[in-house]
Chains A and B, each alone.
Chain A
Amino acid sequence: MQSLLREKWLRIVVEDASGTLSKYLSLSPEQADELFVWAERFDTSRRAALFFLERAPLVRAAHGAEGLSRWAAWGLEALRLSSDLSVRVLEAGRTVLTELEEDAAEAWLRTGLSLAQGAERAGWAYFEGTVPVIEQGVLPEAWGGAALSFFEGDWQARQLASEFLEKTARFAGRLGRESLLVLADSCARLARRHGPLASQWLSEGAELLDATDPSSRPALLLLLSATARSAPPLVPEMGRLGARLLARGLPAAPEALRVCAALASEDAEEALSLVRSVPEILASFGSTVAWDMAVELVGESRRLAGRNSRAGAALFSSLPELKRLSSLQEIRRWIAEGERQYPALDAGAVAYFSLASRAARAQLAAFSQGVPYSEIAREMRLFAQGLTGKEIPLSVLPPVGESMPRFPSTDGRSLLLPELFFGFGGREENHRAARLATAHQAGFFEFGTFLFDSRRLSSKRSALCDLSRFEPPVGESGSLSWFFGRFPWEALAREFFSAFEGYRIDRKLQRTYAGLSSEVEWFWKEELPRRPDLKDVIGKGALPLACELLVRRSLGAQSLPKELVLAATSEQADESLVRLELEQLWDHLGSFFATLDREEAQVEDSAQRTAELYELASLFLGSSPRLGALLSEEGPSGLETSPAAGLPDFPESIRASHEPAAPVAHRGTTDPAAAQEVFSGERALGEIESALAADGVDPYKLSEAELADLLAHFPDLLERIEAGEVGEGGVQVPIPEGAHGLLEETKKTPEEESALRRRVARRLSRVAEGEGREDLYLYDEWDYLLNDYRSSWCVVREQVAEEEEPSAMERVLSESAQILRQVIQHFERVRPELIRRERAQADGDEIDLSRVLEALADRRRGGPWPERLYERREKAERNVATLLLIDMSASTGEKIPEKGEEAKESAAPVPERDEIVTRWDPLPPSPKQVPTGRSVLDIQKEALLVMSQAMDYLGDAYAIYGFSGHGRSRVELVRIKNFREHHPSRILRRVAGIRPRQSTRMGAAIRHATRLLSQEEARYKSLILISDGYPQDLDYGEDRRDENYALQDTRAALSECEAAGVHPFCVTVDKAGYDYLKRMCPHERYLVIDDVADLPKVLPRVYRRLTW
């Protein structure tokens, strides 16, 4: 060994005469010996010893004996693990000696050695990276320490430690200690489950973090570490989304990520979807003006999230809606109120902050100025009817997913208004907004949008466009659908048309109604500043810009928006040219509206403008999307059109990148073509119906011959029936009885025949789709867990019942006729109660004896002779309105088990026992047994028939509805008879058509029934609910097994009913009914019928009891 070292020393001397030799030469022999002594201790590794000798003189020179001994000791300690490690320690150690304090240096070594013990390569990577890391001003211990977390896992994670150190050494300084820790930790956790993913994430994560602005990085780190702890596999996706979000530099984004981070520690999946929605939520704050608001509100969300992550996340998700509904100040108050109401921030708070509970909505409404649909529904319906003279139903727009649509529209049959009008200032302004929206939507009816006929268009002349191509072929009606179908790019034509027609309607309103004239003006002015920021639009391309300018023109904007000129010129070189072109474009767009101002402007004029603008736009934008090319030098009048060619198309690049202009608040999102279809369908049917009704023909009856005829015309009808779409037998298909004849008659003109055919087919398909006449209503639902209502939770769809030949229920008819006789007899016997005795009358049938005696006495005392000495018997005017609500759930279709053999068809009189009903004792055993094969529903039908005739007999107002449904978005209320209908035969057919459906969401059904009853003017109103089991539905409560939710909601609905002045009464044929009914209503408000077959007899008694 000694010889070896000497040899080496000689070699140094010889080979490095100038450098190393001189260093050794400058040493005293003692010093040199000292080095050799140290070197000798490296005797287990030649490589290490040589390396030591080579570097030692320099170290000695720079750091003295003490430094040298520390350095050597490091090397030796590392040597115990391996020579390779030792060499790396010695190499890095020189820098460490220079740069680090003694403690830090020790920590450096310990960290490295721990790493090396975990995985040798990690140690290498650590010591190799030490110098660059130190150069970046980072303590290597901090950097390496991060990698230690890899050793908490299995071998897969260990492997990653070195990779981590290698990859991060170069930019450890930029990442910083926190990032390193989080990156390592997330990688390590990920590695435990998904090795390959972890490796990938390592490099990706490092880059993402590196690319993220250090000021916003902590938020991302928070998110990542929370996710790593709860769901490591989601880390990469979370990182990507988070980094992308931060890269956009939105001011509130870091705070938003902190909200997500809080949620991620509890539920990473949910947090991920929240992260996904962050851009949208923040985008709802729109232009830069609202950023302060965004920052503040997101900050509030984060503050809340700090206490309860779900509540914070809920608030954050609600921000777009809150922002739309209220001002910052109002929202602040609303948040404070929520915290005050739910100090514990429990589930109630989550519901509150996600705007699901009624308290939340009510509170917000109290603070904000919006006008809810429910408040104005009737007023607006009447208003629309006043304007148009037509009964146009009004409906609230059903929610789309979780969000509430905010633009009004019409489907050609009814007007659809958003749940809330807001954002126009105070309540007064919002109300005006609702009124104008209603007038505008009704205007489509009033001013003939749906009377569009392409034939009238094709006979017009245009300098810009060949309109003859809009001549519909023979047999085609030139509807709006057909018209739009002429355009290769239909959506663009529709967009243009909406702007023109919207403008035309507005102008018509102004012309017709002096009072609306100023309203329209006012809204145009309100609407313009709300349009999207032109700076944003300009970046989307010339066509979106042109469309936006078109909408602004249609809102009466007179001058080219200044900001546009500024924005355009800042990016364009040739300022004057752009300015000129924009102004030309602006003027041209304006000129398009001129003809629509005329008093006689029709829908076809809007269509003409659409075609012309389309042609123009395709000419100038079709070739080049550059704004500058929009208008040629000679302008549009110099166009030459070739009639032979069809309408031009646009290049895919333009089509794909186009974004339609945002809708205008009061004009909404009506699809005129679809609405026209419905409108003309309704009109045609209405004509047929009234023509047939005038002839005394029931328009909904279909004979077999007609069915055969229909089948001939609609070959797919059978398939539909077979597929169960149309229903068994197909007899209820509402094809007018006269349709057959009409088809025959109209065969002369194929055009008309096809039109009629299509209408009938449309009606058929609507029946097939189960979307007959449906009116939508929103109702709240009581959530006992929240101790509050869930706001607008259920969508009730009111439909007209299907009809069926009553002959199918012959048995029901005969049974009910029998019972009816008894019931009427019964009513007759108790009839005296219907007579009221009026005393002290001026005239009357009898003398009021007591008054006369009194009078005689008075007279004798010299008093005046009173006049009112008679009494009169008057028929008491019954003033009762009753709604029968029938359970149509699937279970009502079950057959009742047969009872014994001794079933007798007996007409034994019903025992005269009113006290039965009074005391709710079960009826004595009925002598008549339930016949086989009858279902609960059959008996319910029987009861309905008895009841309806009994009530007719009494002359009482009544309505019959069935209910069923499937989930909260589909609670079906089936109208069998409303309070005004009086067509016994039709009602009979509808009763016959009742079929078991799906589930039983009672609460919503009761609320709708209550609403219907409260529109009646009777002095006494009652609701009789007939069911066969407890309320249930698939999402009736979050936990499906929790019956309590449904019961509690039903109970709440019943008490709302009482509060509305309606007397509810529940009859159930479910023997288990005692258990749950007593939890839903007081005992005098329900009755359990043990034997289903008694229902038809008991019901009239219940009724008598309730209403006498």
Chain B
Amino acid sequence: MRESAARAEVNVTEFRIEQEPYYLPIGRECERFEAAWRARLPVLLKGPTGCGKTRFVEHMAFRLLGAARKDREAQLITVACHEDLTASDLVGKFLLEGEETVWVDGPLTKAVGTGAICYLDEVVEARKDTTVLIHPLTDHRRILPIEKKGTVLRAHEDFLLVISYNPGYQSVFKNLKPSTRQRFVAIEFEYPPVEAESKILAHECGLPDKEAKELARLGEKVRHLKSQGLEEGVSTRLLVYAGKLMAQKIPPREACEMALAQALTDDPDVQRAVRDLVQAVFP
């Protein structure tokens, strides 16, 4: 009850990952992440939307923490940042209960305390004061000052802060400040190349290889439109959606209409161009 009150304003996902999430490495990102984790270096994941950053973190959280942690604590706490997200949303706040005030931990505090990976998705969306808040957590101190309680929380040894950032469509106003930026090691993500993506699609959607391949090729073509009306190319996530629809026996052109043409943009010209590409690739 209390928690839900605290969470109402924060979109937090916190659950225990029971099975290893599927992730197809494109380069050496897994090794790099693991090394960073072992060195307890905060990680910045850069990359366009829907390219698999979140899946990657889940995958790594399971790989790194899943086996080690036998208790029922979550390995990963994900916070989707937005512009009204304040420091107290992350750290925690006092709530009124009757005539008493009760302290409720925020997701960050919880992760710091239990030793989970805390993943701040789209961190630049959050207000500036929140980014300052994470500074002491990201250097050698690894502490979280809880201002309202007047205490300082020392991070659990397993704790790791991971943030994500999409350089594509951020406006200049929403750039990461260098002082924040330079506290992270970065791993860059791109949409996977056609072959890899078709494997991902085949796995995620249960599509036959041929269709997965065509869908991946379509993805490549649509991504050519990046910055020409499409702020970002089509994400792997959207392709997966399209593929799942196709697996549900929706004809490919129709599935792509739902998952791509309409979802990608409202610009009618771009929609038509996407549709043209869909119709070129799928008979």
When A386-B224, A843-B86 are in contact, do A378 and B269 touch as well, CB less than 8 Å? yes
Query: Which of B225, B253, B278, B283 contacts A382 (CB under 8 A)?
Result: B225
B272 contacts A by Cβ under 8 Å: yes
Residues of A within 8 A of B172 (CB): 955
Closest approach, in angstroms, between the C-beta of A9 and any C-beta of chain B?
Answer: 108
Complex Cα spacing A518 to B272, Å: 19
B276 in the interface, Cβ–Cβ < 8 Å? yes
One digit per residue, 1 when the CB lies within 8 angstroms of any chain B CB and 0 when it does not, for chain A 378-390 equals 1111110111110
Indicate the member of B172, B221, B276 with the most A CB atoms within 10 Å.
B276
A385, B278: Cβ atoms closer than 8 Å: no
Q: Do A877 and B173 touch (CB < 8 A)? A: yes
Taking a contact as CB atoms under 8 Å apart, the answer to whether A386 and B279 are in contact is no
B residues 221-259 touching A (CB-CB < 8 Å): 221-222, 224-225, 228-229, 253
Question: Which of the residues B84, B224, B279 comes within 8 Å of A842, measured between beta carbons?
Answer: B84
Q: Taking the complex as formed, is B104 at the interface, i.e. its CB lies under 8 A from any CB of chain A?
A: no
Q: How large is the interface on A (under 10, 10 to 19, 20 to 34, 35 or more residues)?
A: 20 to 34
Most A-side CB within 10 Å, residue of B86, B220, B277: B277
Q: Encode A729-760 as 1/0 by CB contact (under 8 A) with B.
A: 00000000000000000000000000000000
* Interface-central residue, A379, A389, A843, A875, by most chain B CB under 10 Å: A379
Contact A514/B273 with A385-B228, A387-B221, A843-B86 known, Cβ cut-off 8 Å? no
Q: A321 within 8 Å of B by Cβ?
A: no
A378-B222 CB under 8 A given contacts A515-B278, A515-B282: no
Whether the pair B229, A382 counts as a contact (CB closer than 8 A) is yes
Q: Is A439 an interface residue (CB 8 A)?
A: yes
Within 8 A of B (CB), among A366-401: 376, 378-383, 385-389, 391
Contact with B280, one of A515, A843, A875, A877 (Cβ below 8 angstroms): A515
> A388 is contacted by which of B224, B269, B276 (Cβ under 8 Å)?
B224
B270 contacts partner chain A, Cβ-Cβ < 8 Å:
yes
Q: Which residue, of B214, B280, B283, has the highest number of chain A Cβ atoms within 10 A?
A: B280
Chain B, 205-231, CB within 8 A of any chain A CB: 214, 220-222, 224-225, 228-229
Is there an interface contact between B279 and A382, defined as CB atoms closer than 8 Å?
no
**Which of B173, B225, B283 interacts with A386 by CB under 8 Å?**
B225
Residue of B at shortest CB range from A436? B280
* Residues of chain A within 8 A of B279, CB atoms compared: 435, 515
Q: Are B273 and A382 in contact (CB under 8 A)?
A: yes
Residue of B nearest to A390 (CB): B224
Which residue of the partner chain, among B173, B273, B281, contacts A379 with CB atoms under 8 Å? B273
Q: Establish whether residues A514 and B229, one from each chain, have CB atoms under 8 Å apart when the complex forms.
A: no
CA distance A439 to B277 in the complex (A): 10
CB distance from B280 to the nearest CB of A (A): 4
For chain B residues 159-197, which have a beta carbon within 8 Å of chain A? 172-173
The interface residues of chain A lying within 8 Å CB-to-CB of B283 are 514-515, 517-518
Interface contacts (Cβ under 8 Å), in number, total 71
Minimum CB–CB distance from A158 to chain B (whole Å) comes to 75
Interface string of B80-119 (1 = CB under 8 A from A): 0000101000000000000000000000000000000000
A868 to chain B, nearest CB (A): 11
Residue among A380, A383, A519, A955 having the largest count of chain B Cβ atoms under 10 Å: A383
B277 nearest CB neighbor, chain A only: A386
A513 within 8 Å of B (CB atoms): yes
Binary per-residue interface labels of chain A (385-429) against chain B in the complex, 1 for a CB within 8 Å, 0 otherwise: 111110100000000000000000000000000000000000000
Complex Cα spacing A386 to B273, Å: 8
Asked if A379 contacts B280 (CB within 8 A), the reply is no
> Chain A, 950-988, contact with B by CB distance < 8 Å: what is the 0/1 string?
000001000000000000000000000000000000000
Given contacts A378-B269, A383-B273, contact A391 B228 (CB under 8 A): yes
A516 at the interface (CB under 8 A from B): yes
Q: Which residues of A contact B229 (CB under 8 A)?
A: 378, 382
**Contact, CB under 8 Å: A379 / B272:** yes
Docked CA distance A381–B173 (Å):
31
In the complex, what distance in Å separates the CA atom of A514 from the CA atom of B283?
5
For the complex, give the distance between the alpha carbons of A376 and B229 in Å.
14
Chain B minimum-CB-distance residue to A517: B283
**Cα separation A380 to B282 with both chains bound (whole Å):** 18
Q: Assuming the A-B contacts A389-B224, A514-B214, A842-B84, are A383 and B281 also in contact, with contact meaning beta carbons closer than 8 angstroms in the complex?
A: no
Q: A514-B283, A515-B281 are in contact. Are A379 and B276 (CB under 8 A)?
A: yes
Report Cα–Cα, A516/B214, bound state, in Å: 13
User: With contacts A514-B281, A514-B283 known, is A386 near B221, CB below 8 A?
Assistant: yes
Residue of A nearest to B267 (CB): A378
B148 to chain A, nearest CB (A): 13
Chain A residues near B228 (CB-CB < 8 A): 381-382, 385, 391
Bound-complex Cα distance A877 to B174 (A): 12
Interface 0/1 of A934-961, CB less than 8 Å to B: 0000000000000000000001000000
Contacts of B224 in A (CB 8 A): 385-389
Alpha-carbon gap, A383 to B280, bound state (A): 10
Residue of A nearest to B214 (CB): A514
B277 touches A383 (CB 8 A): yes
Give the nearest-CB partner of A388 in chain B: B224
Task: Give A600 to B270 CA distance when docked, in angstroms.
Answer: 32
- A1033 CA to B214 CA in the complex, in Å? 54
A383-B277, A387-B277, A955-B172 given; A514·B225 CB < 8 A: no
With a CB–CB cut-off of 8 A, which chain B residues contact A518?
283
CB contact list, A338-362 vs B, under 8 A? none
> What CA separation (Å) do A955 and B276 show in the bound complex?
37
CB-nearest residue of chain A to B87: A843
Q: Which residues of A contact B225 (CB under 8 A)?
A: 382, 385-386
A386 partner residues in chain B, CB cutoff 8 A? 221-222, 224-225, 273-274, 276-277
Q: How far does the Cβ of A810 sit from chain B's closest Cβ, in whole Å?
A: 33
Contacts of A380 in B (CB 8 A): 273, 276
Measured CB to CB, the nearest residue on chain A to B268 is: A379
Are A435 and B276 interface neighbours, CB within 8 A? Answer: yes
How close is B242's CB to chain A, nearest CB, in angstroms?
15
Residue of A nearest to B173 (CB): A877
B-side contacts of A435, CB under 8 Å: 276, 279-280
Cβ–Cβ < 8 Å partners of A439 in chain B: 280
- B-contact bits for A429-460, CB 8 A (1 contact / 0 none): 00000010001000000000000000000000
**Contacts A514-B214, A843-B86 hold; do A382 and B269 have CB atoms under 8 A apart?**
yes
Instruction: Report the nearest A residue to B269, measured CB to CB.
Output: A378
The answer to whether B86 and A514 have CB atoms under 8 Å apart is: no
Residues of B within 8 A of A388 (CB): 224
Minimal beta-carbon separation of B167 from chain A (angstroms): 17
In the complex, what's the smallest C-beta–C-beta distance from B261 to chain A, in angstroms? 12
**What 10 A-B pairs are tightest by C-beta distance, nearest first?**
A382-B273, A378-B269, A379-B272, A513-B280, A383-B276, A386-B221, A389-B224, A514-B283, A386-B277, A515-B280
A-B contact pairs, 13 of them (CB 8 A): A379-B276, A382-B228, A382-B273, A383-B276, A383-B277, A385-B224, A435-B279, A435-B280, A515-B253, A516-B280, A517-B283, A842-B84, A843-B86
Q: Which residues of B contact A (CB under 8 A)?
A: 84, 86, 172-173, 214, 220-222, 224-225, 228-229, 253, 269-270, 272-274, 276-283
| Interface residue ranges, A against B (CB under 8 Å) | 376, 378-383, 385-389, 391, 435, 439, 513-519, 842-843, 875, 877, 955
Given contacts A378-B273, A382-B228, 6 further A-B contacts (CB under 8 A): A381-B273, A386-B225, A386-B277, A387-B277, A514-B281, A842-B84
